[in-house]
């Protein structure tokens, strides 16, 4: 059973003291007494072991058994999950798991996935809290993942520590060998994926069901999502664009070291906000320039320029032509590992989970067509 609650950690039990009278009574004790004392001591030892096995275990955020995926600054004090899809995973034999988190906005939601079961949503709590991720688990080893559904507009969820309240151990999961990075806007972030209402309430944001996350899971890849609702390549709904954020550990800090996590596949889905804000032919050059920046950091990656599935790909929009022309320019310049794909326009606002799933299916096919080893 999974639930959200705050609780106080139970302190470790004190092991019972062993009987100290045995030495004083050595001469007077009969064989029977000696046997009885021995049995009592054995029982005491057993109780001590049981108490040790079930004593709470605490873990710092930078414990080496935790595998973080995403651009996540991790210290002993905390791990800040800012970008959508930022996650942490581990293996455990513990019956129960708690995470100690803080959220300054109270607008963040996390998905908890145990053994690849359906995600359970937790969150929406402002300030510091203790979240029970799981309880009543069997003694077998389980895979646990905590995945950020919401985006950077909700700021970071900071994991400040972990507790196994009934004891247990954790160990690392094996990381995928395939790595993907996605750059995008609200479509990639997961805006209103869980509601046809096209509403900006963060409870409806769900990066876990976006084409980006589903594509990565289908291909068995780890992925980073550098995406932000409202951002464009040349124009955004504020003074800035993706060039201000693409190389950041956090928003706009330019602190990401690409050598730390070289991507095998990079997907760029930008242009929808540019289209709404009146961008024209300058987008063609912007696509070329951004792809060249990506190539400078990922010399061997396959790069996909994609667009859609909102009205930037509707009939009459020039953006698909700009994208196709940009791919042609890059290929003609000697980069034959850049490809394009246009998701057909689907009316109805931001793509919901079913539309995102179809987008993922299209993208998986497009990737496998040029990387048949991933079939």
Domain ranges of the chain: 1-174, 178-374
- Total residues found in the chain within this entry: 375
Which residue from 104, 60, 96, 92 is spatially nearest to 78, judged by alpha carbons? 60
What is residue 269's predicted lDDT score, i.e. its pLDDT? 99
Superfamily of domain covering 1-174 = Galactose-binding domain-like (2.60.120.260)
Three-class SS string for the chain?
Answer: CCCCCCCCCCCCCCCCCCCCCCCCCCCCCCHHHHHHHHHHHHHHHHHHHHHHHHCCEEECCCCCCCEEECCCCECCCCEEECCCCCEEEEEECCCCEEEEEEECCCCCEEEEEECCCCCEEEECCCEEEEEEEECCCCCCCEEEEEEECCCHHHCCEEEEEEEECCCCCEECCCCCCEEEEEEECHHHHCCCCCCCCCCCCHHHCCHHHCHHHHHHHHHCEEEEEEECCCCCCCCCCCCCCHHHCCCCCCCCCCCCCHHHCCCCEEEEECCHHHHHCCCCCHHHHHHHHHHHHHHHHCCCCEEEEEECCCHHHCCCCCHHHHHHHHHHHHHHCCCCCEEEEECCCCCCCCCCHHHHHHHHHHHHHHHHHHCHHHC
How far apart are alpha carbons 185 and 138 in whole angstroms? 41
What is residue 25's predicted lDDT score, i.e. its pLDDT? 39
CA distances (Å), 186 to each of 24, 42, 122, 217, in order? 77, 63, 21, 20
CA distances (Å), 112 to each of 37, 221, 238, 248, in order? 49, 19, 33, 26
What is residue 277's predicted lDDT score, i.e. its pLDDT? 98
Helix axes 319-332, 282-297, angle to 10 degrees: 50
Burial 325-336 (b: 16+ CB within 10 A, else e): bbbebbeeeeee
What is residue 148's predicted lDDT score, i.e. its pLDDT? 98
What is residue 280's predicted lDDT score, i.e. its pLDDT? 95
Exposed/middle/buried for 269, CB within 10 Å: 0-12, 13-18, 19+? buried
What is residue 59's predicted lDDT score, i.e. its pLDDT? 98
How many of the other CB atoms lie within 10 Å of CB of 64? 6
How far apart are alpha carbons 306 and 363 in whole angstroms? 9
Task: Return per-residue pLDDT of the chain as tens, 375 residues.
Answer: 333 333 333 333 222 332 333 343 333 343 434 444 444 444 444 444 444 468 999 999 999 999 999 999 999 999 999 999 999 999 999 999 999 999 999 999 999 999 989 999 999 999 999 999 999 999 899 999 999 999 999 999 999 999 999 999 999 999 999 999 999 999 999 999 999 999 999 999 999 999 999 999 999 999 999 999 999 999 999 999 999 999 999 999 999 999 999 999 999 999 999 999 999 999 999 999 999 999 999 999 999 999 999 999 999 999 999 999 999 999 999 999 999 999 999 999 999 999 999 999 999 999 999 999 999
What is residue 139's predicted lDDT score, i.e. its pLDDT? 83
What is residue 6's predicted lDDT score, i.e. its pLDDT? 32
- Phi and psi at 267, nearest 5°, equal -115, 130
What is residue 9's predicted lDDT score, i.e. its pLDDT? 31
Superfamily of domain covering 178-374 = SGNH hydrolase (3.40.50.1110)
What is residue 50's predicted lDDT score, i.e. its pLDDT? 42
Fold: same for 1-174 and 178-374: no
Q: What is the CA radius of gyration of the chain?
A: 26
Burial 4-41 (b: 16+ CB within 10 A, else e): beeeeeeeeeeeeeeeeeeeeeeeeeeeeeeeebeeee
What is residue 54's predicted lDDT score, i.e. its pLDDT? 84
CA neighbours closer than 13 Å in the CB half-sphere of residue 375:
8
């Amino acid at each position: 059973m999974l639930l959200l609650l705050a609780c106080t950690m139970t302190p470790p039990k004190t092991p019972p003291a062993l009987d100290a009278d045995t030495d004083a009574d050595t001469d007077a004790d009969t064989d029977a007494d000696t046997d009885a004392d021995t049995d009592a001591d054995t029982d005491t030892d057993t109780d001590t072991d049981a108490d040790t096995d079930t004593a709470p275990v605490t873990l710092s955020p930078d414990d080496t058994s935790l595998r973080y995926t995403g651009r996540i600054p991790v210290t002993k004090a905390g791990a800040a999950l800012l970008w959508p899809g930022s996650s942490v995973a581990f293996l455990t034999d513990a019956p129960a798991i708690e995470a100690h988190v803080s959220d300054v906005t109270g607008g963040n939601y996390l998905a908890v996935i145990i053994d690849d079961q359906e995600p359970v949503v937790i969150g929406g709590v402002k300030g510091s809290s203790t979240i029970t991720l799981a309880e009543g688990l069997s003694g077998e080893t389980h895979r646990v993942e905590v995945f950020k559904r919401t985006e950077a507009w909700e700021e970071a969820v900071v994991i400040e520590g972990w507790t196994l309240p009934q004891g247990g151990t954790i160990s690392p999961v094996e990381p995928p060998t395939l790595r993907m990075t996605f750059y995008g806007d609200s479509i990639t972030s997961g805006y209103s994926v869980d509601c046809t209402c096209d509403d900006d309430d963060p409870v409806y944001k769900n990066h876990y069901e976006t084409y980006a996350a589903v594509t990565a899971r289908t291909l068995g890849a780890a992925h980073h999502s550098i995406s932000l609702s409202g951002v464009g390549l040349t124009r955004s709904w504020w003074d800035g664009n993706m060039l201000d954020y693409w190389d950041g550990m956090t928003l706009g800090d330019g602190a990401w070291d690409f050598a730390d996590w070289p991507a095998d596949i990079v997907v760029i889905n930008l242009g929808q906000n540019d289209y709404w804000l009146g961008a024209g032919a300058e987008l063609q050059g912007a696509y070329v320039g951004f792809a060249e920046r990506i190539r400078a950091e990922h010399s061997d990656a396959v790069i996909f320029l994609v667009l859609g599935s909102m009205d930037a790909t509707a009939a009459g929009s020039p953006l698909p032509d700009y994208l196709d022309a940009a791919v042609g320019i890059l290929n003609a310049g000697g980069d034959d590992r850049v490809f394009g794909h246009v998701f057909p326009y689907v009316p109805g606002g931001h793509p919901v989970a079913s539309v995102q799933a179809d987008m993922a299916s299209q993208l998986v096919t497009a990737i496998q067509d040029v990387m048949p080893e991933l079939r």
